[in-house]
C-alpha cells in the first residue's frame, strides 16, 4: 500500500507516530516560511505543514488544488484545535512529499456550476462534492443492508440475462442486433419479470437481485432515462400479506439502522384500498406526512385492491393496470369476460413514500387457463401469444402460487434523502435529455460496425427552417 493510514484514521491517539498518507490537495496556503496543505481522501481531511528549510519546500510550491500527493510525516497535536474537522486536534509535520500527479485548474467553480457541467466532469463532482459522495456511500449501505437481510431470510441472489427477447409489454425496448443471426434482435430487459417467475417454476422458492432495468422512456425528475436499478424479488407459496410484511419489516429496520435521524410517520405501514385512496386523496400515491415540508419525515403506505385493468379500453380491448401476469381476486374470476372485466380487482400492491411510488408488485397468475383468458381480454392474437410461449409452456409443469415486488433503488434513495432529482443518488447518471455528457453517449458508430450487424440507417430528414 502507498499509505499507512487514511485521512479519516489520523487522530490525537497517533500523536508522535509517523504516518504515510495519500490523497488530494483540498486547499493550499503558501506563506513565506511554511506551506499549509489540507489533504483530503474519501475518509476525511488532515492539515499538513512543510517548513521553508525542508528539502521538498520548492516541490510543495508547485502544487495546485486537486493535485494527487503522497505525504510522510509525524503526527503532532495542534496548538489551536479546529472544531470543524474530525482531525482538527492534530496536524502532520511533513518529512517527505511526493507529487503523484499535478492537477490542471478545475474546469468549474464547485459553488457556481450548471448540472450538465457537473455531469460532464462527474468524476470531479464525486470527488469534491461531499453531499454527493455521502449519497453514494448510503446507496452502498442500503444495498448491503438489503442483501444481508434477505440472505438471513434464505433468499438466493440470482442474476438473470441482460440479452433477452423483445415482448409487447410496458415501455419501448432497447433492441440489440445479432451479428451471428442476421435480422434477429435481442432486447435489453425492462425488468426480470418473466425470468423471476420462471425461477419460481424452477423451485428456487425465494429469489432476489439488485437488477438493472433498461427502458426506452422519456426522462423526468423521478425517473432515470434509459436505465435504473430495482430490488427484484419473488417468493413461492405466499399470499399478498406475506410479501407486504417482509418488505415492511426490512424497510423499517433499514431506516432505523441507516437513517436514525429520519422520523417514521407510521411504525406499521397502513394499507389503503385503491378505490378509497382515489376518493379521498385523488391520487394513488398520497403523501401521508403530517408535515409535508419536512423532508426528514417518512410516510410509507401500501396501496392495494387495484382494478385488474385500466378503466379506458384501448382499441376495444382492456389494458393491464399493473401487468398481464397479475392475479385477479378469486372472488372476481367469474367476471373475467368482455362485459364485466372492468370490475375485476387484483392482487396488485404499490409501495408509496412521501407521495412517490417507490415499488410495485403483485401475486402472479399461476393458472395457465386464467393467463390465457387475460391474454384474450387484452387483445392478444396468436402471434402476440407466441412471445410468451415459453411462459405458457412452463406453466404446464406444476407452477407454485407465487408473487413479488420490485422497489426502485434510485427513487427510494431519492425520497429517503430528500433529494429533488434521481441524479443526486446515481454515480454516473444521464442528463435531462437522456444523454451521458461525460462519455458522449449516445453516439454514432462506424460503418463497419453497422455492416457487421447487418443494419442500414434510415434517419429522419433534418427540418429546414424557412425564412420569414
pLDDT of res. 225: 86
Q: Give dist(CA 193, CA 365) in Å, integer.
A: 12
The pTM (predicted TM-score) of the whole model is: 0.93
Q: Decide: residue 117, CB within 10 A, 0-12 exposed, 13-18 middle, 19+ buried.
A: middle
Q: What percent of the chain has pLDDT over 90?
A: 83
- Host H or E run for residue 257: helix 240-258
Mean pLDDT, the chain, integer = 93
pLDDT digits (tens, 9 = 90+) for 108-164: 999 999 999 999 999 999 999 999 999 999 999 999 999 999 999 999 999 999 999
pLDDT digits (tens, 9 = 90+) for 402-417: 999 999 999 999 999 9
pLDDT digits (tens, 9 = 90+) for 31-77: 989 999 999 999 999 999 999 999 999 999 999 999 999 999 999 99
Q: What is the Cα 263 distance to its own chain's centre?
A: 23
- CA torsion sign for 102, 104, 107, 112 is positive
CA angle 122, 71, 30 (to 5 degrees): 80
Least confident among 58-72, 149-163, 222-236, 380-394: 380-394
Q: What is the Cα 434 distance to its own chain's centre?
A: 16
Q: Average the pLDDT over 201-207 and give the result.
A: 98
> In this structure, what C-alpha cell is assigned to residue 165?
427477447
The answer for residues whose C-beta is within 8 angstroms of residue 420's C-beta and 6 or more apart is 221
CA distances from 140 to 145, 261, 264 (A): 9, 18, 22
Beta bridge partners of 70: 22, 98
pLDDT of res. 468: 46
Q: Average the pLDDT over 340-354 and give the result.
A: 96
Q: Any idea which residue has 517527505 for its cell? A: 96
pLDDT digits (tens, 9 = 90+) for 288-330: 999 999 999 999 999 999 999 998 887 788 989 888 899 999 9
pLDDT of res. 215: 92
Q: Give dist(CA 135, CA 159) in Å, integer.
A: 25
CB 67 within 8 A of CB 103: yes
pLDDT digits (tens, 9 = 90+) for 431-443: 999 999 999 999 9
CB 285 within 8 A of CB 356: yes
Q: Decide: residue 421, CB within 10 A, 0-12 exposed, 13-18 middle, 19+ buried.
A: middle
> In this structure, what C-alpha cell is assigned to residue 360?
410495485
Q: What is the DSSP letter of 463?
A: P
Q: Give dist(CA 328, CA 318) in Å, integer.
A: 14
Q: Average the pLDDT over 215-227 and give the result.
A: 83
Q: Average the pLDDT over 187-210 and give the result.
A: 96
Q: Give dist(CA 166, CA 188) in Å, integer.
A: 8
Least confident among 66-70, 220-224, 242-246: 220-224
pLDDT of res. 462: 77
pLDDT of res. 219: 77
Confidence check: pLDDT of 455 > 70: yes
pLDDT digits (tens, 9 = 90+) for 77-88: 988 877 667 778
Q: Give dist(CA 243, CA 349) in Å, integer.
A: 9
Q: What is the largest CA-CA distance in the chain?
A: 92
CA angle 231, 197, 209 (to 5 degrees): 25
Q: Give dist(CA 196, CA 203) in Å, integer.
A: 11
Q: Average the pLDDT over 379-383 and give the result.
A: 86
Beta bridge partners of 228: 213
Confidence check: pLDDT of 461 > 90: no
Q: Average the pLDDT over 168-191 and give the result.
A: 90
Q: What is the Cα 222 distance to its own chain's centre?
A: 11
Amino acid at each position: 500500500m502507498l499509505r499507512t493510514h487514511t485521512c479519516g484514521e489520523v487522530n490525537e491517539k497517533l500523536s508522535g507516530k509517523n504516518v504515510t498518507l495519500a490523497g488530494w490537495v483540498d486547499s493550499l496556503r503558501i506563506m513565506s516560511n511554511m506551506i499549509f496543505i489540507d489533504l483530503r481522501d474519501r475518509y476525511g481531511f488532515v492539515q499538513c505543514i512543510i517548513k521553508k528549510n525542508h528539502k521538498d519546500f520548492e516541490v510543495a510550491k508547485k502544487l495546485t488544488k486537486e493535485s494527487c500527493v503522497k505525504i510522510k510525516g509525524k503526527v503532532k497535536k495542534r496548538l489551536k484545535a479546529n472544531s470543524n474537522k474530525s482531525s482538527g486536534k492534530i496536524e502532520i509535520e511533513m518529512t517527505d512529499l511526493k507529487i503523484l500527479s499535478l492537477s490542471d485548474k478545475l474546469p468549474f467553480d464547485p459553488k457556481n456550476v450548471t448540472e450538465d457541467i457537473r455531469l460532464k466532469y462527474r468524476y470531479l463532482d464525486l470527488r469534491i462534492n461531499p453531499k454527493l459522495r455521502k449519497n453514494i456511500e448510503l446507496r452502498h449501505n442500503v444495498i448491503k443492508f438489503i442483501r444481508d437481510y434477505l440472505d438471513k431470510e434464505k433468499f438466493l441472489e440470482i442474476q438473470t440475462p441482460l440479452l433477452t427477447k423483445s415482448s409487447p409489454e410496458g415501455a419501448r425496448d432497447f433492441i440489440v442486433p445479432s451479428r451471428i443471426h442476421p435480422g434477429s434482435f435481442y432486447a435489453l430487459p425492462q425488468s426480470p419479470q418473466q425470468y423471476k417467475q420462471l425461477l419460481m417454476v424452477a423451485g428456487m422458492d425465494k429469489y432476489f437481485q439488485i437488477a438493472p432495468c433498461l427502458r426506452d422512456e422519456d426522462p423526468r425528475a423521478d425517473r432515470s432515462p434509459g436505465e435504473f436499478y430495482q430490488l427484484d424479488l419473488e417468493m413461492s407459496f405466499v399470499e399478498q400479506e406475506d410479501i407486504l410484511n417482509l418488505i415492511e419489516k426490512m424497510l423499517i429496520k433499514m431506516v432505523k439502522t441507516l437513517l436514525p435521524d429520519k422520523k417514521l410517520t407510521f411504525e406499521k405501514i397502513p394499507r389503503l384500498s385503491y378505490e378509497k385512496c382515489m376518493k379521498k386523496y385523488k391520487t394513488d400515491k398520497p403523501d401521508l406526512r403530517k408535515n409535508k415540508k419536512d423532508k426528514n419525515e417518512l410516510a410509507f403506505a401500501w396501496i392495494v385492491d387495484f382494478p385488474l385493468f385500466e378503466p379506458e379500453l384501448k382499441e376495444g380491448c382492456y389494458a393491464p393496470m399493473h401487468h398481464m401476469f397479475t392475479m385477479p381476486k378469486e372472488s372476481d374470476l367469474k367476471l373475467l369476460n368482455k362485459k364485466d372485466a372492468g370490475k375485476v380487482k387484483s392482487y396488485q400492491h404499490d409501495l408509496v413514500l412521501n407521495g412517490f411510488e417507490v415499488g410495485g408488485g403483485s401475486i402472479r397468475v399461476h393458472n395457465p387457463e386464467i393467463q390465457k383468458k387475460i391474454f384474450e381480454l387484452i387483445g392478444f392474437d396468436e402471434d402476440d401469444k407466441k412471445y410468451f410461449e415459453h411462459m405458457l409452456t412452463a406453466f404446464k409443469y406444476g407452477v407454485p402460487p407465487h408473487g413479488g415486488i420490485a422497489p426502485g433503488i434510485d427513487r427510494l434513495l431519492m425520497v429517503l434523502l430528500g433529494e429533488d432529482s434521481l441524479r443526486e443518488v446515481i454515480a454516473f447518471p444521464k442528463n435531462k435529455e437522456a444523454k451521458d455528457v461525460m462519455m458522449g453517449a449516445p453516439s454514432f458508430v462506424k460503418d463497419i460496425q453497422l455492416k457487421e450487424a447487418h443494419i442500414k440507417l434510415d434517419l429522419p430528414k433534418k427540418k429546414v427552417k424557412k425564412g420569414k
